[in-house]
Amino acid sequence: MIAYLDASVLLRVVFHQENALREWRSVSAGVSSALVETECLRTLDRFRVRERPAGRDLQRLQGSLRDLLDTLTLVDLDRTVLRRAAQPLPVLLGTLDAIHLSTALFYRESTDAPLTLATHDESLARAARAFAFPVVGA
């Protein structure tokens, strides 16, 4: 499966959480917005400040994230994606999720790839379904 992966999916994999994406092993290719790197690194930094993990633990998480990001096709944020994210949507959606949805739509239209959207976010999942994406994780 080719899957558009949002930060919620990647972070659960990096943190080895029990509620990580069940379909993870079925993902043959991952796609995301370049935004996902910033989102994930900000989360790791909040974790560093709040939880004060040992240096090695934080380095392991950062390395795991970087290794994962290196396997993904990252779609650059450009005016086309941002303009689309700013358009009215059929469901209530925040800015970052709208950018993810817009990026997934752009990728699907640009490649004609059968793209599944993977997220643990219910709002993004509803919006993706409204645009006929198969959704896993939520």
> Which tens digit of pLDDT belongs to each residue from 64-110?
999 999 999 999 999 999 999 999 999 999 999 999 999 999 999 99
| Residue 11 belongs to domain with CATH number | 3.40.50.1010
58 has pLDDT over 90? no
- pTM of structure: 0.93
Domain that holds residue 88: 2-136
Which pLDDT band, with edges at 50, 70 and 90, does 55 fall under?
A: confident
Domain count across the chain: 1
Q: What is the mean pLDDT of the chain?
A: 95
Q: Could you please report the per-residue DSSP string of 59-114?
A: HHHHHHHHHHHHTSEEEPP-HHHHHHHHS--SS---HHHHHHHHHHHHHHHHH---
